[in-house]
Amino acid sequence: MARKFFVGGNFKMNGTAQSITDIIANLNTATLDPTTETVIAPPALYLLLARSLADPKIALASQNVFDKPNGAFTGELSVDQLKDAKIEWTLVGHSERRVILKENDEFVARKTKAALDGGIGAILCIGESLEEREGGKTLDVVTRQLNAVAEQLSPAEWAKVVIAYEPIWAIGTGKVATTEQAQEVHATIRKWLGEKVSAAAAENTRIIYGGSVTEKNCRELAKQPDVDGFLVGGASLKPAFVEIINARL
């Protein structure tokens, strides 16, 4: 089974009702590669608006979710609420949440498990800092982040996980990983899936790249055998996002 190319747009804490309406209008009228699974993640406040506006071929993702069911958790969103709003995916473990909001590996793993238990797909973000890369620790870091999740999931549950490898030094910096750097880590993640999860998970799990992806660098990255798509921040707010969704055309 070929892995379906997956492109996510992470709007982060950007946009207004008007600008998100405009972005979606552009996506709705563009010709999008039908073999790409396209998902957008606007801020939580605009998820319902985005779901009502977006063509059904475009899925919605939350940028975050809580690991507990509905209850006294001020400011959080539950998996049930996302499901109720027809939001099919959630990001988990984005580096901005790991670093700024101090989310640790175990918390990210619990959120991933909660999302899957509730029927929401998880876009699991992992990646190393510049210091860790320069210290030769990249593979240790991504493996540690993945091991925490593997402790919570059964092998079959990985079918609803997309792994987003996002080196922190490449996020929002304009400094994209080279195709070789991306492919090397993606191949290692796939090997890890084969050893720690299952042969099926290694074969079928989408491993996408994030960090300064643009319409200019996406084509070369998309040619790498273990790059199954992208998680796009800044460029997802621009019309050129369409070119990234269509990177393989």
210 belongs to the binding site for ligand PGA (CB under 6 A)? yes
Question: Distance of CA 228 to CAs 126, 187, 232, Å?
Answer: 15, 11, 13
Amino acid at 182: A
234 belongs to the binding site for ligand PGA (CB under 6 A)? yes
Q: Does 186 participate in catalysis according to the annotation?
A: no
Question: Distance of CA 192 to CAs 143, 173, 177, 203, Å?
Answer: 8, 28, 21, 11
Closest distance to ligand PGA from the beta carbon of 230 (Å): 8
Give the per-residue contact string, 150-169, with ligand PGA (x = CB under 6 A; - = no): ----------------x---
| Segment interacting with ligand PGA, rule: CB under 6 A, options 45-53, 66-74, 197-205, 211-219 | 211-219
Among 82, 171, 207, 222, binds ligand PGA (CB under 6 A): 171
Give the Cα separation of 180 and 54 in Å (integer). 35
Please count the residues of this chain forming the interface with ligand PGA, following the rule CB under 6 A.
13
Which two three-digit tokens encode residue 136?
Answer: 């030769």
Among 112, 152, 183, 212, binds ligand PGA (CB under 6 A): 212
135 belongs to the binding site for ligand PGA (CB under 6 A)? no
Catalytic residue among 96, 132, 166, 215: 166
231 belongs to the binding site for ligand PGA (CB under 6 A)? yes
Closest distance to ligand PGA from the beta carbon of 214 (Å): 8
Q: Does 94 participate in catalysis according to the annotation?
A: yes
Question: Distance of CA 40 to CAs 91, 146, 183, Å?
Answer: 10, 24, 24
8 Å CB contact between 61 and 92? no
Positions of E strands within 115-238: 121-126, 161-165, 207-210, 229-232
| Segment interacting with ligand PGA, rule: CB under 6 A, options 113-121, 147-155, 206-214, 221-229 | 206-214
Question: Distance of CA 197 to CAs 79, 109, 152, Å?
Answer: 24, 15, 11
End-to-end CA distance of the chain: 20
Catalytic residue among 37, 94, 96, 128: 94
213 belongs to the binding site for ligand PGA (CB under 6 A)? yes
Helix ranges, 68-173 (H): 79-84, 95-99, 105-117, 130-134, 138-150
Quick one: 11 or 66, whose CB is closer to ligand PGA?
11
> Catalytic site residues?
94, 166
Binding stretches for ligand PGA (CB under 6 A): 10, 166, 171-172, 210-213, 231-235
